[in-house]
Amino acid sequence: MSSGPRAAFVPFPTHLDLKDFVSSRENIVFATRINCKSIDQYPLEDFENLVYTHVIRTGKPLVIEGFEERLNQNLFSPDWLKRYMGKKIENCWDQVDQKNVPYTIQHYLNNMPKLAENVASRRDLRTEPQRLYLKDIDCPKEWQASLENIIPPFLFYLNDRPRAFTGPGSKYTEMPPYPRTKDGAAIAKAGDLMSSLPPEMRAENLMCYIGHEGTYTAAHREMCGSLSQNLMVEASNGEIENDKKTRPGSSVWFMTETFERQIVAEYWKSMLGHDLDLEKHFASIAAWKKAPFMTYVVEQVPGDLVLIPPLCVQQVWNRGTRTMKVAWNRTTVETLQWALDEELSRARAICREEQYKNKAIIFYSLEKYSKLLEEDPGKSHPGVDALWEDFEYLFKMFTDVLLSECFSTGLPAEKKTEYLEFTGDVTCSYCRCNIFNRFLTCEACVDGAETYDICMDCYVFGRSCRCISKLKWVEQFRWKDLEARHEKWRSQIMKHFEKDGYGVDHPVFSAVRAEETQKSVAELCQEQLRVRPWVDCKKPVQTAILSDSESEQVHNRRSSKRRKANHKSPKKTDKAKKKRKPEEMGRCHICKPRPIWTLKHCSTCDSQYCYGCLFRLFDLPPQQAMQFSDWECPKCQKVCSCSSCNKKPDKMLEPYQPQRLLLGHDTSKVADERSVESLVDLRQSNAGWMKKFQRTKNQFYAERFERLKREADEARLALDETRANPVPELVPPQGLTFDSSLAAMDDDDSIIREDNQPENFPVDPYLDFNKTFIMLDHPVTDSALDSAIDPSLGIV
């Protein structure tokens, strides 16, 4: 892992003036706000169009204010929580010690004034105050029922179809009545595709967050590219409560645009020294000021509903004595596409558990929509037309999912594939992703009642159990059944659009498979199972398990729901075991000798490159490198950046410069303890290699940020105009432009310059397990500790 300097945790000032902060930089603006009263002046479908255009398509945050006048103040209050849920024990996240502390809700609410005052009035910068955040707790059913009558249906949690509604935008509509099925269900698309899953498979994400001054949410992106909605339902107003002084409560949000996600991630790694995907760093005010991208600021007060775009980076700081928020996520066809294209692979790299079952959502949504559209009367209706569009969109994604799971037509058929009925709870033992259909399992590595199951993407990447090979195929759907469903849905789409006179082309699946030029992930797994050696997990051969650095002590093992073993042990034999032959070795052109099966061989010369070097130094992941049987190495392409090739400048064109910075991440802390990485060691960073291309102090960073900004601008221009609608007049234009000169960092900012730090540069405590971090705040006094002891728990 990278040992370079990293930006420290620097809390926001208590009296931060947001207006001065926003006016200090042209690339920092307040997010667009509209009042929910203005929604009443337009049909509800116009508001839905606005959310799609501004939040999803344009990728900018939106705030809808004024809900405090519609909220039941008696229901959404700390007094109600104390009365009806006060004795309930919840885990409160201690943000200083990084651990959960159980408290009753009543006790936590009663002590919030003291916790907030302790942070706000700190004097000793050498000590850290308590920051106790009551987060990710289940939303009371009474709150959910009340919010369902206030929030527009398409925006709310688990919305499956249009419903009767009396909230904002419900005064009138231009939408004709929806046609209905025989059972009375409206033939219309869902606001949240999570509702398509069976109840037992859904991810519960309607959560409450209660925080005090100084609690925060580190910079992060929403899981699986989903849309996030966050409503502040109550906050302290500065009045005396229970003879205790309070401070006005609010939350400060910093957000970015969807299309600038790559430049944000690169800035986090190269300038702040943190991996954004780990969600561990809270960026300082100085870091946001120097950022080479647009930042949208929101001060959220009671009644503000914040709509966060997919893949947007967000960071939240709570102010005042108390803030109470309700948040939920929605899945749409657009967010599913983001998940398949980007988020799932990113989560797989750091082993973040996939809770949303995206591929299963595609499958069940298609089944649901197909049944609805079978009863479509065929009359023109804008809502039904939108349903057909989403149905076709989902079908294209389902086709891509099937293509990735196709077995090779040139290899012997897999005859011993185990069938396991789909229940939605099979997860990869390494990356913890949800497995939709096909995967590999090891019959030898059975740990108690748990099997070792590995997803196809991880296996291609070199992840597996210690046996490495001789794994068995398992599928959760009969392949013929999946092909039959694909053909049924294809025929349904073709019949509809041909009737309407639209020329759509969706060939049968066998034709699509025949036209595919690249190998599927399943086919690559088949090839690798034949190439990789088997290792006796009871007597592992050290050379077969490659590692470039010492592994840290394994801890914090996961306890996810896992598939039970069938208790069929491998057959024992009395035959004498043959001694395993020494593994054939080859030498990587860049690093060192390695087993021959871990190297990619050039078809032009005799050079070999290990998959780790190709991944870190040439941006070529194993799955992409394995696609080519006739592969020309970087040396033959005259882009090799190793020292030996660079000694011959007359034969080289230009060394390849890696396009992404990798800080390294030790996945052994979360992956199954039976796991190994045999092709790519993700603990290794390429930061040192990238410094070879650094000519001047600022030019190196500025050039990379400018390149990413150009890519973001090109992505905006390449938007699919066919799904775009005109923006209603609810949102005024901001008339602001981005100043590209901001990409050049100031040399005097020692907080965020990676190459400008002293040796004792403070390390972020959330990535430093030795707790050697800079102390900033006041400790809790003994008297405060006494009052913080929950009498019902006896907690110190």
- DSSP-derived pairing of the beta strands 99-104 and 89-94: antiparallel
Lowest mean pLDDT among 394-408, 448-462, 667-681, 717-731: 717-731
Report the pLDDT averaged over residues 775-783. 32
> What's the pLDDT at 147?
96
Q: Which CATH number fits domain 18-157+205-331+764-787: 3.30.565.10, 2.60.120.650, 3.40.47.10, 3.40.309.10?
A: 2.60.120.650
Calpha distance 146→299 (Å, rounded): 24
Joined tokens for residue 699: 């030019």
Q: How far apart are the first and last CA of the chain?
A: 36
- DSSP-derived pairing of the beta strands 305-308 and 450-454: unpaired
Q: At what angle do helices 479-499 and 382-404 cross, to 10 degrees?
A: 150
Q: Is 80 exceeded by the pLDDT of residue 78?
A: yes
Split at pLDDT 50, 70, 90, the class of 621 is very high
26: alpha, beta or left? (left if phi > 0; alpha if psi -120 to 50): alpha
Q: Is 60 exceeded by the pLDDT of residue 63?
A: yes
305 touches 64 (CB < 8 A): yes
- Note the pLDDT tens digit of each residue in 235-294: 999 999 888 899 999 999 999 999 999 999 999 998 999 999 999 999 999 999 999 999
Q: Say what percent of the chain tops pLDDT 90.
A: 64
Report the pLDDT averaged over residues 299-327. 97
Alpha-helical (H) ranges within 6-140 are 18-23, 36-39, 44-51, 78-85, 105-110, 112-120
- CB neighbours of residue 186 within 10 Å: 18
Calpha distance 636→409 (Å, rounded): 32
- Note the pLDDT tens digit of each residue in 13-58: 998 999 999 999 999 999 999 999 888 888 889 999 999 999 999 9
Q: Burial of 127 by CB count in 10 Å (0-12 exposed, 13-18 middle, 19+ buried)? A: middle
Of 113, 129, 281, the closest CA to residue 214 belongs to 129
Calpha distance 616→626 (Å, rounded): 16
Give all strands (DSSP E) within 559-715, no chain letters: 585-587, 593-595, 599-601, 608-610, 675-677
Supply the pTM of this predicted model: 0.86
Of 348, 71, 377, the closest CA to residue 233 belongs to 71
Q: Is 50 exceeded by the pLDDT of residue 545?
A: no
Q: Is 50 exceeded by the pLDDT of residue 779?
A: no
* Summary mean pLDDT of the chain: 84
Domain ranges of the chain: 18-157+205-331+764-787, 345-544, 585-692
Q: At what angle do helices 358-373 and 479-499 cross, to 10 degrees?
A: 50
More confident residue, 85 or 562: 85
Joined tokens for residue 454: 């590995």
Report the top-level CATH class of 585-692.
alpha beta
Calpha distance 674→682 (Å, rounded): 17
Calpha distance 778→126 (Å, rounded): 8
Q: Is 70 exceeded by the pLDDT of residue 688?
A: yes
> What's the pLDDT at 123?
67
CA dihedral of residues 715, 717, 723, 729 (deg, nearest 10): 120
> What's the pLDDT at 500?
62
> What's the pLDDT at 583?
65
3-state DSSP assignment of residue 328: strand
- Note the pLDDT tens digit of each residue in 204-247: 999 999 999 999 999 999 999 999 999 999 999 999 988 889 99
- DSSP-derived pairing of the beta strands 99-104 and 132-138: unpaired
Say if 18-157+205-331+764-787 and 585-692 have the same CATH topology. Answer: no
